[in-house]
Amino acid sequence: MCGIVGILGRGPVAEQLVESLKRLEYRGYDSAGVATLEGDHLERRRAEGKLKNLEARLSGDPLSGHTGIGHTRWATHGKPTESNAHPHATDNVAIVHNGIIENFRELRAELEQNGASFASETDTEVVAHLVESHLKNGYSPQDAVKASLPRLRGAFALAFLFKGHNDLMIGARKGSPLAIGHGDGEMYLGSDAIALAPFTDTITYLEDGDWVVLTRTIGVIYDSNGAVAHRETLKSGASSFLVDRANYRHFMAKEIHEQTEVVGQTLARYVDMTAKRIALPFELPFDFNDIGRISITACGTASYAGHVAKYWFERLARMPVEIDVASELRYREAPLRKGDLAIVISQSGETADTLAALRYAKAQGLHTVSVVNVPTSTIARESETVLPTLAGPEIGVASTKAFTCQLMVMAALAIAAGKERGELSDIDEMKFVGELIEVPRLIAAALAIEPQIEKLALDIAKSSAVLYLGRGTSFPLALEGALKLKEISYIHAEGYAAGELKHGPIALIDESMPVVVIAPYDRVFEKTVSNMQEVAARGGNIILMTDATGASEATVDSLATIVLPDMASTFTPMVYAIPVQLLAYHTAVVMGTDVDQPRNLAKSVTVE
C-alpha cells in the first residue's frame, strides 16, 4: 500500500514532501522517508514509526534539495524498520513504491548474481537495482525505466529520482494509483489529489500501465506500449486544508458525531424529501427488471454495509443477491451473468481487491455501480455508474460515518429497485422513504446515550474476548461491531448470527464473557431473546442494545441495556451502528490505544 509523493520544486522540497505525506498517512504509517538531490548527490532521511519521527530526523539533519520524493509505508515485505523504509536507493537512483512486486524473488536472485548488493528485505529494492543495472549499461534514465517496467509483475505506483538529473522525475503506475500535479514551474507526483492539494489543484491521473517523464515544465505520458498518451487534466476539488479534529480527542469521535449531518446530506442527495420519493442523483443505465441477480462486493466495513443491503434488496425488491468479500470473488471464478448487476462499495475507492472485483465483473459484461466516498478514486472512475456517499473525508482508520452513509445509499437503491420491479407500490415507497427521512434525527437521539456507553466501556476493557450477536440485518451489524472493537481496542471479538450461537460459540460463554446482543424490537426479536436466554443460562454478561419495547419485553437480566429510540424496523442498522461504534471507541480510549491509527492497519488498502 503506502503513500508516495514526488516534487520538482523551485525551492527546497523536504518540508513540502512531509506536508504531503501527512495527507497520505491513511495509506500506512509504520515508517516514512524522503530523498532529495543535494547538488550532485542523492540524500535520504528515513525513520521508523510515525511521521513525527521523520520530522525530528529532518530537523536534526535537514535536506535542502529542490527535487525529491517521499514515502509513508505500510509494511508488506520486511519489518517496519528504518532499513526497510523507502526511499530505496542505489548509486544513481532512488525510488518510492506503493504496491507489491510479485516476482521480486527471482529478480533479486538475478540481480545478486550480477553483483548487486541489497540493503533491505523489501520487494521494492529490486526495482532500484534493476534500473541501476540499465544505467550502468549506459542507458538514459528514461530508457532504463522503460526497459525495467515490463520486467515487474504485480501492482505498483513508482516515483524515480536520478543522481545528476535535477530537472527529472519519472513515475509509473500499474494497479496502484498515481497522479501528476501541475504547478507554476513546478511538477508533482502523488498517490492522490489530496496529497497534492496544498500545492496544486490541476491534476492528471495516470491510467493503468502508464508511465510519465516529468520536468518542471512538462510531463510526457507513455502508455504500456511506449506510445505517447494524452490523459485529461482536471481540477481536483480536493481541499488544501488538512481536516482537523475540531474539539474532539480523536478523528473517530468527530466522525461518529458527524453522522447526523453526513447521513442527512447523503439522504438529501437520494430522496425527494417533499414528495417522499426516491430521486437517485443519476439515471441508472439499466432496468432492475432485467437484472437476474445482484453481486455485491467490498472489503472490511464496506462489506458489512453490503451484507445489510443484501437483506434489503431481497426483502424490498425480491432480488437474489450475492455478497462476497472482494478478495474471494476475484479468484473463485464466480459465474456472473452478462447483463446482471455488480455493486462495489468502498470508502476510499482505491481498495485493490475491490477494484479487481469491479474489473472482473466488467469483464464478465455486468453493469457496474460503485458506492464510493472519494469521487475521483479509481473505482469511481472505472465504474459505469457512481453513487457517491457524502460522508466527507474520513480520517480515522476504523470506518464509521462512511458505513452509515453507504447504508443510506444502499437503502435508497433497494427501494428504487423494489419500486421499478413493482414489488413496492407508490404508498410503500413513500412509507420507506419516510422512514429514511427519520434516520438522521434518530442517529442524533442515539448519540445521546454516549455517557452510558462510556461507563460500560470500563467493563468491556477488562475482557479478553467479546461476542456480538444479531439476527436479520442486525447480524451484519454484529460482525461490524466485533470488527470495530478488535481493530481499535485489540480485544478479541466475534460476531455471530444469534441462531448460530448454539452451534459452537456457546462453548466460549462464561462469567467473564460480555455478549453484546443487537436486538431492536422487530419480527425476529423473540427468537433473539431465546438466544439471550441461552447466554444468560451459562452466566454470560449480556449487553442488550434495543428499544423501549424490547427493553420491557426482554425477560433476561443484563449487565446493561442500551435503549435506543423507537423506529420502524427496516433500517435499524443505520441507528444501531451508533452504540456499536461508540462502544468500540470508548473501550479503545480506556485501553489507551492509538484510536485513529491502530497498529498494523491502514485506511486504504491498495495491495491484495
What pairing do the DSSP bridges indicate for beta strands 541-547 and 560-564?
parallel
Distance of alpha carbon 190 from alpha carbon 376, whole angstroms: 14
C-alpha dist (Å) from residue 241 to 99, 195, 196: 27, 10, 11
**φ/ψ bin of 63: left (φ > 0), alpha (ψ from -120 to 50), beta (otherwise):** beta
- DSSP sequence for 548-563: HHHHHH--S--SEEEE
33 contact partners, CB below 8 Å, separation of at least 6: 44, 45, 46, 47, 54, 70, 71, 73, 85, 86, 87, 96
Q: Does 603 bind ligand G6P (CB under 6 A)?
A: yes
Stretch near ligand G6P under the rule CB under 6 A, chosen from 80-88, 345-353, 499-507, 565-573: 345-353
Distance of alpha carbon 139 from alpha carbon 602, whole angstroms: 38
Judged by CB under 6 A, the residue of 31, 200, 301, 489 near ligand G6P is: 301
Judged by CB under 6 A, the residue of 300, 440, 520, 540 near ligand G6P is: 300
Distance of alpha carbon 608 from alpha carbon 606, whole angstroms: 7
Residue 193 or residue 302: which is nearer to ligand G6P going by CB? 302
194 contact partners, CB below 8 Å, separation of at least 6: 23, 24, 238, 239, 393
Residue 351 or residue 541: which is nearer to ligand G6P going by CB? 351
Judged by CB under 6 A, the residue of 399, 561, 570, 606 near ligand G6P is: 399
Q: Which residues in 351-370 contact ligand G6P (CB under 6 A)? A: 351, 354
Q: Does 348 bind ligand G6P (CB under 6 A)?
A: yes
Catalytic residues: 2, 603
Judged by CB under 6 A, the residue of 395, 397, 453, 542 near ligand G6P is: 397
Distance of alpha carbon 267 from alpha carbon 279, whole angstroms: 10
Stretch near ligand G6P under the rule CB under 6 A, chosen from 340-348, 546-554, 570-578, 586-594: 340-348
Q: Does 389 bind ligand G6P (CB under 6 A)?
A: no
Judged by CB under 6 A, the residue of 279, 556, 568, 601 near ligand G6P is: 601
420: phi then psi, degrees, rounded to nearest 5? -65, -35
Closest CB 354 distance from ligand G6P, rounded Å: 5
Closest CB 303 distance from ligand G6P, rounded Å: 8
Q: Does 299 bind ligand G6P (CB under 6 A)?
A: yes
Query: What angle, rounded to 10 degrees, do the helices at 401-420 and 259-270 form?
Result: 20
Stretch near ligand G6P under the rule CB under 6 A, chosen from 69-77, 109-117, 341-349, 491-499: 341-349
Question: Of all residues in this chain, which one has the CB nearest to ligand G6P in the complex?
Answer: 300
Residue 141 or residue 388: which is nearer to ligand G6P going by CB? 388
Q: Does 346 bind ligand G6P (CB under 6 A)?
A: yes
Q: Which residues in 136-165 contact ligand G6P (CB under 6 A)? A: none
Amino acid at 482: A
C-alpha dist (Å) from residue 135 to 67, 106, 130, 141, 151: 20, 20, 9, 7, 16
Stretch near ligand G6P under the rule CB under 6 A, chosen from 7-15, 39-47, 383-391, 392-400: 392-400
Judged by CB under 6 A, the residue of 98, 347, 541, 572 near ligand G6P is: 347
Closest CB 348 distance from ligand G6P, rounded Å: 3
Among residues 111, 220, 137, 232, the alpha carbon closest in space to that of 172 is found at: 220
Amino acid at 246: A
Judged by CB under 6 A, the residue of 161, 302, 513, 583 near ligand G6P is: 302
Residue 213 or residue 577: which is nearer to ligand G6P going by CB? 577
Closest CB 349 distance from ligand G6P, rounded Å: 7
Which set of grid coordinates corresponds to residue 70?
517521499
110 contact partners, CB below 8 Å, separation of at least 6: none
- DSSP sequence for 320-352: -EEEEEHHHHTTTT--PPTT-EEEEEESSS--H
Judged by CB under 6 A, the residue of 605, 606, 607, 608 near ligand G6P is: 605
Closest CB 139 distance from ligand G6P, rounded Å: 39
Residue 351 or residue 474: which is nearer to ligand G6P going by CB? 351
Residue 72 or residue 354: which is nearer to ligand G6P going by CB? 354
**The dihedral sign for the CA sequence 89, 90, 93, 99:** negative
- Number of residues in contact with ligand G6P under rule CB under 6 A: 16
Specify the DSSP element, H or E, that contains 298.
strand 294-298
Stretch near ligand G6P under the rule CB under 6 A, chosen from 171-179, 201-209, 297-305, 536-544: 297-305
Cis, peptide link before residue 87, omega less than 30° from 0: yes
Residue 419 or residue 603: which is nearer to ligand G6P going by CB? 603
Q: Which stretches of the chain bind ligand G6P, using CB under 6 A?
A: 299-302, 346-348, 351, 354, 397-399, 601, 603-605
